[in-house]
Amino acid sequence: MRSVRFALVGLGNLGARFCEMLQDKRAQLGERYGLDLCLVAAADSRGAAYSPAGLDLAQVLALKRAGDSIANYPAFGRVGWGAVDLIAEVEADLLLEASPVNLDRNGEPGLSAVRTALQRGMHVVTPNKGPMVLAYQELHQLAADNGVELRFDGTVAGGLPAINLGQRDLRGAEIRLIEAVPNLVTGYVMDQLAAGLEWDTVLDQARDEGVLEADSSWDLDGWDAAAKLVILVNAVLGLPATLSDVARTGISGVQLSDLKAAKQKGGGYRLLARAEQQEDESYALSVEPSFLSEEHPLGRLGSKGMGVLYETDIYGTLTAIIHEPNPMPSATTMLRDLLDIYL
């Protein structure tokens, strides 16, 4: 049995769900793959805890469920211990960086935590788009220089292995077109508007259901979809694209009459992210509310579906879609990435 000591930054939606999943699966993963995944350190926004012998998952989850912080983990927790300082100090094989996207604050603390871990020779797995959008090329260089792996399959379209498909299964191909529906809430909002609900009602409803962040601009103005497109383009096409390369249109200007007409035709609107090869072989990058007919491979995703399509020269047109009844798949991409590093 090989022990993998990992540190976890972020104990919100993704981090806590990962711990729940691991609690259920730890013994089985040991039997199946000969790996013992041992949480040795964790940080949330209020502090951190570190125990070289391992933290108890049940106790970590009990603290979070009680609305408390990991900082109050008995004996090993410390209030105010920042994620970056923790990672600079901890002895671990791998960092799971699951803090929230924070482009307003230059991707911190996620970006510095990732940088520090890579510099210290730790593998990094992260579903956090912030560091990948802001410093894709730098972080990959840093990983290569330190002989470690950096995985981020969860940054795009939740549990869908969109990056893995493009990077590994389409090797050798020219990719002529990428189309992706990588954001759930914009599709939900447009479906509800088409069904006759008012804009404000729909947004309130989405907030109540926890699918829309307090700062709704990130989703509704297409920043989230654009960030995912930038990561796909860097990872799959190998191009150093940034957010400013994306022609971005959010959903606030979409016409109600268009939404209703689309519904009548049997299709629907989705915030579609596209990278289309041009005659000069460059790619035009866009995020735009788009009508998808029923015939389109991404045209029937439903309210819990996301997808990606690759049009290629030698592998035909490949489409993958995921139905996520809850956010668990987005959290478990960290397991996919982690196992991919060690197996």
**If binding is defined by CB under 8 A, does position 340 make contact with its own copies?**
yes
The minimum distance between CB 7 and its own copies, in angstroms, equals: 19
**If binding is defined by CB under 8 A, does position 172 make contact with its own copies?**
yes
**If binding is defined by CB under 8 A, does position 239 make contact with its own copies?**
no
**If binding is defined by CB under 8 A, does position 265 make contact with its own copies?**
no
Q: Report the distance separating Cα 228 and Cα 321, nearest Å.
A: 15
**If binding is defined by CB under 8 A, does position 23 make contact with its own copies?**
no
Could you give the 3-state DSSP secondary structure of residue 320?
Answer: strand
**If binding is defined by CB under 8 A, does position 315 make contact with its own copies?**
yes
Candidate segments 79-87, 97-105, 215-223, 317-325, binder of its own copies by CB under 8 A = 317-325
The minimum distance between CB 246 and its own copies, in angstroms, equals: 25
The minimum distance between CB 299 and its own copies, in angstroms, equals: 8
Q: Report the distance separating Cα 332 and Cα 343, nearest Å.
A: 16
Q: How far is CA 26 from CA 7, 12, 122, in A?
A: 16, 20, 21
Assigned token pair, 192: 């509800």
Candidate segments 54-62, 125-133, 276-284, 320-328, binder of its own copies by CB under 8 A = 320-328
Residue 123's beta-bridge partner residues? Answer: 94
Q: Report the distance separating Cα 25 and Cα 37, nearest Å.
A: 10
Q: What is the number of other CB atoms lying within 10 angstroms of the CB of residue 104?
A: 10
Residues 106, 134 contacting (CB under 8 angstroms): yes
Residues 224, 218 contacting (CB under 8 angstroms): yes
Among 88, 103, 165, 243, binds its own copies (CB under 8 A): 165
The minimum distance between CB 81 and its own copies, in angstroms, equals: 30
**If binding is defined by CB under 8 A, does position 325 make contact with its own copies?**
yes
Task: Using alpha carbons, select from 133, 139, 124 the residue that is nearest to residue 9.
Answer: 124
**If binding is defined by CB under 8 A, does position 323 make contact with its own copies?**
yes
The minimum distance between CB 300 and its own copies, in angstroms, equals: 7
**If binding is defined by CB under 8 A, does position 319 make contact with its own copies?**
yes
Assigned token pair, 327: 């956010």
**If binding is defined by CB under 8 A, does position 173 make contact with its own copies?**
yes
Among 31, 280, 281, 295, binds its own copies (CB under 8 A): 295
**If binding is defined by CB under 8 A, does position 317 make contact with its own copies?**
yes
**Geometric angle at alpha carbon 236, from 316 and 152, rounded to 5°:** 125
Q: How many residues bind its own copies (CB under 8 A)?
A: 41
The minimum distance between CB 74 and its own copies, in angstroms, equals: 29
Among 33, 36, 135, 213, binds its own copies (CB under 8 A): 33
Question: Which one-letter amino acid corresponds to residue 89?
Answer: E
The minimum distance between CB 177 and its own copies, in angstroms, equals: 13
Candidate segments 60-68, 127-135, 167-175, 226-234, binder of its own copies by CB under 8 A = 167-175
Question: Which one-letter amino acid corresponds to residue 187?
Answer: G
Residues 235, 193 contacting (CB under 8 angstroms): no
Among 27, 168, 240, 303, binds its own copies (CB under 8 A): 168
Q: Report the distance separating Cα 261 and Cα 108, nearest Å.
A: 43
The minimum distance between CB 25 and its own copies, in angstroms, equals: 6
Q: Report the distance separating Cα 210 and Cα 130, nearest Å.
A: 20
Nearer to its own copies, 102 or 319 (CB): 319
Question: Which one-letter amino acid corresponds to residue 142?
Answer: L
**If binding is defined by CB under 8 A, does position 300 make contact with its own copies?**
yes
> How far from the centroid of its chain's Cα atoms is residue 128's Cα?
5
Q: What is the number of other CB atoms lying within 10 angstroms of the CB of residue 13?
A: 15
Residue 269's beta-bridge partner residues? Answer: 291
The site for its own copies (CB under 8 A) is made up of 21, 25, 29, 32-33, 158-161, 164-165, 168-173, 294-295, 297, 300, 314-325, 328-329, 332, 335-336, 339-340, 343
